[in-house]
Amino acid sequence: MKILKIALLTFSLISIGNAQTDQEVLKTIYTQSLANGKSYDWLNYLSNQIGSRLSGSLGAEKAVAYTKEELEKLGLDKVWLQPVMVPRWVRGAKEFAFIESALGKTTNVNICALGGSVATPALGIKANVVEVKNFEELEKLGKENIEGKIVFYNRPMQPDLIQTFEAYGGCFNQRYQGAMEATKYGAIGVIVRSLNLRLDDLPHTGSMTYGDLPVEKRIPSAAISTNDSELLSAMLKLNKETKFYFKQSCKQLKDVQSYNVIGEITGSEFPNEYMIVGGHLDSWDLGDGSHDDGAGVVQSMDVLRLLKNSGIKPKRSIRVVLFMNEENGLRGGNKYAEEAKRKGENHVFALESDAGGFTPRGFSFDCTDASFEQVLSWQPLFKPYLIHYFEKGGSGADVGPLKTESNVLAGLRPDSQRYFDHHHASNDTFDAINKRELELGAATMTALVYLFDKYGVNPISTKKTIKN
């Protein structure tokens, strides 16, 4: 085993030179990741030794220290922390809920408070339930049918959409704005069907907003598992007077100091052109955030390590950025873009991995048509690795604020069929990660970074590079 590793390393150091074809370089990158990768070990530590990393928590603080320390071991040119103030929301005691079909006849169900929600009164709330599928139904029912009741949003994710993120997008507003909308009609609480395509018992948390609502008007909001959503809906059909009880004790505390973690390989030819790869270091609190977004964090760290280990000396400055607070505030992403603007740093390329650690399929690109054509010309290079998805579209929440007219933003697109089984739930844990799938993602990201660094993001500079 050891001999094989040394042989691979020696092979890569000797053989990467200017004479190598892109095919050969990609082969080295994938070999390094699959035979000698580091992402899985890092994720094991992050998930199993540190655990969940909600902004402002001890886990988040430990994750900052750990990833900084690991990046420092890689021999990069610079590693530093970028301060950012983040919100701190705490769940408190485990939530409790039941359906009451008749006085004293109750069935316990699985709920969790949505991130940012207020608590219920100490004894919880119990009320009649109004089930709706969307805000239009809510409006039609009006105040006379909703006042004093709990609104139950039960629009399921659309199963026939192959891109499950589209199905997520189609249901997201129930969770995010559901409480705010229901408040307009005098509801006293909100229960939202978990954003999960399969039927199971796990509630899925996630961010929600009260907008500008004054504190005294804010109503508690919780997610309920898909199985229990079906149950509640069925019981309401049998008996409209079915009641729902829930109790939660979450709290919004004062903002706390936290950090984005950044490492850099300084460019050999164009040090003032920046290319970044990143994921978000924070996670929700129910699982350990292995898929969301521990995977993106360790893959991004490994991009810089893989470049170095494959003997690639980037022309542009390559940074790994581990963003803080994507889940409930995006403060890290905004802070990074603000600082980049203030310092006049030219960010020509930014890639985020925040769609899970499953088998990579390709990338989504937010860029000019000319840059996209350039990407398409590289498609054959990725074919041996079964990477085929190259589409225009979104990139990632954290890198979004870096958008300019000419730069390239991209998002890794892994297979998304199983992602929402785990997303923001207690089963987003390390055992749901496959080592090879994670490593293929890291290699695929590294390959794209290598190509953009070599040829530039502007097709004019591409032609120049090719002539040279």
Q: Report the catalytic residues.
A: 326
Specify the pairing of strand 125-132 against strand 150-153: parallel
**150 or 410, CB closer to Zn ion?**
410
Number of residues that bind Zn ion (CB under 5 A): 3
**131 or 398, CB closer to Zn ion?**
398
Interacting positions 87-146 with Zn ion (CB under 5 A): none
Separation of alpha carbons 189 and 421, rounded Å: 26
Q: How far is the CB of 373 from Zn ion (least distance, A)?
A: 30
Per the CB < 8 A criterion, the answer to whether 241 and 232 are in contact is no
**120 or 364, CB closer to Zn ion?**
364
- Cα-based torsion angle of the residue sequence 107, 113, 117, 121 in order, rounded to the nearest 10 degrees: 40
Interacting positions 296-355 with Zn ion (CB under 5 A): 354
Cα radius of gyration rounded to whole Å, the chain: 24
Question: Which residues are paired to 305 by β-bridges?
Answer: none
Q: Is 293 in the site for Zn ion (CB under 5 A)?
A: yes
Q: How far is the CB of 45 from Zn ion (least distance, A)?
A: 19
Q: How far is the CB of 187 from Zn ion (least distance, A)?
A: 29
Separation of alpha carbons 211 and 213, rounded Å: 6
The candidate with the shortest Cα–Cα distance to 188, out of 115, 128, 234, 240, is 128
Task: Count CB-CB contacts under 10 A for residue 173.
Answer: 15
Residue type, 251: K
**26 or 167, CB closer to Zn ion?**
167
Interacting positions 138-197 with Zn ion (CB under 5 A): none
Task: Count CB-CB contacts under 10 A for residue 245.
Answer: 20
Stretch that binds Zn ion, among 82-90, 142-150, 291-299, 401-409 (CB under 5 A): 291-299
**131 or 292, CB closer to Zn ion?**
292
Q: How far is the CB of 309 from Zn ion (least distance, A)?
A: 27
Beta strands in 306-417 (DSSP E): 316-323, 346-352, 360-366, 389-392, 408-414
Instruction: State phi, psi for 84 to the nearest 5 degrees.
Output: -155, 135
Q: How far is the CB of 424 from Zn ion (least distance, A)?
A: 9
Residue type, 53: R
Interacting positions 347-376 with Zn ion (CB under 5 A): 354
Which of 197-209 are b and which e, b meaning 16 or more Cβ less than 10 Å from the residue's Cβ?
A: beebebbbbbbbb
User: Given CA atoms 358, 364, 366, 370 in this order, what sign does their dihedral have?
Assistant: positive
**293 or 366, CB closer to Zn ion?**
293
Stretch that binds Zn ion, among 87-95, 210-218, 265-273, 286-294 (CB under 5 A): 286-294
Q: How far is the CB of 416 from Zn ion (least distance, A)?
A: 13
Residue ranges in contact with Zn ion by CB under 5 A: 292-293, 354
